[in-house]
Amino acid sequence: MKQFILKIAERGFPILCYIFPLVEISTCFAGRVFLNADNRILTEFYVNYVVAATRFYTGNVYLIFALMIGIFITCSNGTLKLKKFVRFNVIQAILLSIICSFINAMYPLLPLIIRESYIGLLLSHVFYFGIVIAILYSALLICYGKYPSIPILSEAARLHVQRGYLDD
């Protein structure tokens, strides 16, 4: 029973860390995606749940950033005795969140005529669903105990885990 709970914890914590990129990408693109769907259920879901999460995130952005940095340093240096699987997946989730921050910072710099056209709507859907699919893909593989492979992020996460002090 103890090993089962330990296995659930070591797979659940990395999946929980994928909340960072999900909320990060939702702050910029969820409104455009959910409100342009012309579906009452999606609109209510957005208003009731996604807006609440993004408000909490934007209201406590420095606290969440400090938490992310603390988790990243802990997993990168290997200061806690965590398995390599957990450290790899947590670092990959935080690196995905950094990419989401970059996308959120660069999207408003597009010319207004592009952002407010069908091209901008297409870009916002591609960014949002691309990140959500990457999160779902990673969470599914983590549930099965496999390492998710996202082309650039996985290599960066692997390098950070190898650099740690307590490699398995």
Domain ranges for the chain, please list them: 2-163
pLDDT value of residue 162? 80
Measured CA distances, 103 to 4, 58, 110, 130, 163 (Å): 38, 16, 11, 12, 27
Query: Which is it for the CA torsion 51, 52, 55, 57, positive or negative?
Result: negative
Please state, in angstroms and rounded to a whole number, the distance separating the CA atoms of residues 114 and 128.
Answer: 17
| Predicted local confidence at residue 38, as pLDDT | 84
Could you read off the pLDDT tens digit of each residue along the chain, which spans 168 residues?
Answer: 888 888 898 899 999 999 999 999 999 999 999 998 888 999 999 999 999 999 999 999 999 999 999 998 888 887 788 888 999 999 999 999 999 999 999 999 999 999 999 999 999 999 999 999 999 999 999 999 999 999 988 898 888 888 655 444
In angstroms, the CA 18 to CA 136 distance is: 9
* Two tokens, residue 102: 């970059």
In order of 22, 45, 104, 155, the CA distances from 141 in angstroms are 17, 27, 26, 17
| Three-state SS annotation for the chain | CHHHHHHHHHHHHHHHHCHHHHHHHHHHHHHHHHHCCCCHHHHHHHHHHHHHHHHHHHHCHHHHHHHHHHHHHHHHHCCCCCCHHHHHHHHHHHHHHHHHHHHHHHHHHCCHHHHCCHHHHHHHHHHHHHHHHHHHHHHHHHHCCCCCCCHHHHHHHHHHHHHCCCCC
Look at residue 168 in the predicted model and tell me its pLDDT. 46
